[in-house]
Structure 1
């Protein structure tokens, strides 16, 4: 640098015209890349408090012998009559008869509802969920979806485009994100549903919305499941099991169902042998969407006895 300045001064002293070489254009400053879509944002103190609240609940349930993962055993016997009764209660009626959190008009209590076309599941995450947790949850949904496809014989798969069954994992801080996404996905979603998503009560740790076409109110064409990210591992996995199965058509709970996740007593965390048979019954081709409980009863009796190996 000093040598260059000396040459310029010498040229000026001897009266020579300095020939200046145009300098190169300055390199533009690198522009930082935009943040990745839905990039991770650490949870707030309120979200962390909620996570601790759910951890205490899970510890209490486990201490009382609940949230079983064994699928049932000798202490939970059931026969074909139990299966028949429980299927009728769980598959033909809705857990929310007032439809306060529905995204469609399912005025169909007393009739069978399920999917006819392929179920295409996509998992989405709110910004407050750690990348490692996202990977684990996505893997759990994928594994469970494959199990459901085997049980039902129905087309159920994980997709990255054109989904019709959305599984959202989102926390207390992600309400605006989820509400925005739901408005994109379901333009006719009710305000009551949006309010529930935006400000979920602490006793709503997960839930599912399912809807059908107006012309075919018993044939599901779309579903959305929301699972709180603050939930500890086992309760979050139990939500995956129950809500996706309910979104397939087992839309009610029954206090008489045992061993079953379709019972509000929290005895079982994961899908049981009893529940597997309910799903097989739901997608048995001898039962059609829209059939009434009275019309279906003789067929349900036959299927239940076939599954249990009991004579008719």
Structure 2
């Protein structure tokens, strides 16, 4: 969709709205209201949408390599029921989120997994240990959370961190794994870590940027296990596969397995994407890195886009390269950045799972529309994006959309509706951003953009 937006305005969500405006909103809708809790609706993940031929290729690429590119020589997994136990100070939302995840793994991936206070002797065990981020990152500086085989406590991991026993490439029969998650981060990040790390403990260990419909993807657009992921996990734990199989042995059984478990993927068109050069992945990682400065990130995005075009890609690898270039573009490249964003959105909309990425682009464009006084366009774009925020249970995304809608309605003179939208978005904002103060700060960033647009309109 070629929207009639002006060039990207270079808007950053920073700074604050005037104190008097915040006070008015708090007095009208905030101060006397009880603090609501974010609760996602019924589980409704996007279903896998690709051919079984593609699923086979994805399974093999996910299953027989690490994120670093190191090969995994043999298929590995737990055999039999798995018990999940927790250690450390449990954050307030963690148990409910963990139980929701376990329920999904039972129902959607047919995995025999349950939570218990302690693991029976000799049981297959996944331990989820919560500890301060500072303690975690003193040992593993770059990790937000991670999973390790053959240990059950943080002390075990620290004592064995140079041992081959915790090297996934040496694991064949999984019997125990530990997931380490910071206890002092946002509820949403804790939930996201539970999904990705327990998913990896039960299944593949690789992440692929090209998988728009998977949590096994370091671009972090998918925040909970998707229909694609649950199908991968169901096949991973099917009785036809056994620990110790080679890649060739697994590949021989996968077509029959996917045809049985995913009949909708039979005979569907689609060509496997093929291997992705490591150099492109490294360029994307550079563009996404929070450690690199803006120039270094921009250089990574430009390299990734040049490689994507040289490869002749027309899939999500090109879309991600375009989107990162647009988001990191200097102000004087606003027109080309807008074209890149719209092209990326078109690619994502025709890709299974890419609707979520397109929805994030819609949110970014809605901010630009709000900044330039195009309030109805901001409302239309956020309404288009909202179902995907809800289905992926991305509370931070959902709250941001609500805040944009709130400010757009306020700009249109619908103050009561704007106030209602702001109030209704606060539970998701607290869950997604971590606190009342952080939720309010996010709202203020967006309100500042709306106020600036109103001031420009009066000039």
TM-score surpassing 0.5? yes
Instruction: Report if the CA contact (8 A) 2:137-2:143 is conserved.
Output: no
In structure 2, the CA distance between the partners of 1:285 and 1:210, relative to structure 1 (3 Å rule), is same
For 1:272 and 1:300, the matched residues in 2 are separated by 20
Q: 1: distance between equivalents of 2:224 and 2:266?
A: 29
**CA distance in 1 between partners of 2:54 and 2:216 (Å):** 14
Higher relative helix content: 2
User: What secondary structure, in the 3-state scheme, does the structure 1 residue paired with 2:180 have?
Assistant: strand
The question of 1:253 aligning with 2:207 is answered yes
Check conservation: 1:227, 1:239, Cα contact below 8 A: yes
**Shift of the alpha carbon at 1:156?**
1.0
Structure 1 outlier segments of 4+, above 6 Å: none
Larger radius of gyration: 1
Cα offset, 1:97, TM superposition: 6.3
CA distance in 2, matches of 1:96, 1:118: 30
Partners of 1:71 and 1:268 within 8 A in 2? no
Q: Distance in 1 between matches of 2:197 and 2:185?
A: 14
Distance 1:210 1:161 in 2: 18
Q: Which of 209, 216, 223 lines up with 2:177 in the alignment?
A: 223
Could you tell me how far apart the structure 1 residues matched to 2:49 and 2:83 are?
Answer: 35
Shift of 1:70: 6.7
TM-score normalized by structure 1? 0.58
Q: Tell me the CA shift for residue 93 of structure 1.
A: 2.5
Output aligned runs, 1:208-219, within 5 Å: 208-211=147-150, 217-219=171-173
Offset of 1:146 from its aligned partner?
Answer: 2.5
Q: Take 1:236 and 1:217, find their aligned partners in 2: how far apart are those partners?
A: 26
Describe how 1:2-17 pairs up with structure 2 within 5 A.
none
The answer for the alignment partner of 1:61 in structure 2 is none
Match of 1:224, SS state, is strand
State the partner residue of 2:261: 307
Q: How many residues align?
A: 205
Highest relative contact order (Cα 8 Å, sep 6+), 1 or 2?
A: 1
- Whole-Å separation in 1 of the counterparts to 2:66 and 2:82: 20
Aligned positions of 1:9-158 closer than 5 A? 71-72=45-46, 77-95=49-67, 109-126=72-89, 133-134=91-92, 136-158=93-115
- The equivalent position to 1:204 in structure 2, one of 114, 135, 143, is 143
What's the Cα RMSD here?
Answer: 2.9
Gaps of 5+ in 1: 1-55, 57-68, 99-107, 176-195
User: Does structure 1 retain, via aligned residues, the 8 Å contact 2:109–2:231?
Assistant: no
Distance 1:246 1:237 in 2: 14
CA distance in structure 2 between the partners assigned to 1:258 and 1:294 by the alignment? 26
Cα displacement (A) at 1:96: 5.2
Give per-residue Cα distances to partners, 1:56-102, cap 9 Å, x unaligned.
Answer: 9xxxxxxxxxxxx97447xx84221221111111123333567xxxx
CA contact (8 A) 1:92 1:113 kept: no
Q: Distance in 2 between matches of 1:161 and 1:308?
A: 35
Cα 1:81/1:311, change in 2 over 3 Å:
closer
Return 5+ residue gaps in structure 2 as ranges.
1-13, 15-42, 152-163, 268-459
Secondary structure at the aligned position of 1:285 is classed as coil
Distance 2:65 2:187 in 1: 30
> 1:197 and 1:119 mapped to 2: Cα distance?
28
- Aligned mate of 2:131, from 140, 152, 170: 170
SS of aligned partner of 1:226: strand
Q: What do residues 248-279 of structure 1 show as CA deviations (whole Å, max 9, x unaligned)?
A: 13211122323000011112101111001001
Residues of 1 paired with 2:72 and 2:242: CA distance? 15
Partners of 1:115 and 1:137 in 2: CA distance:
24
Check whether the contact 2:111–2:234 (CA below 8 A) recurs between aligned residues: no
Instruction: Tell me, yes or no, if structure 1 residue 285 matches structure 2 residue 201.
Output: no
CA distance in 1, matches of 2:220, 2:54: 19
Secondary structure of 1:208 counterpart: strand
In 1, Cα distance between the equivalents of 2:54 and 2:266?
15
Structure with the higher strand share, 1 or 2: 1
- Deviation of 1:160 after TM superposition, in Å, equals 1.1
For 1:136-195, what per-residue CA distance to the aligned partner results, in whole angstroms no more than 9, with x for missing partners? 20221122123213334332111112362110122235x3xxxxxxxxxxxxxxxxxxxx
Q: Partners in 2 of 1:151 and 1:115 — Cα distance?
A: 17
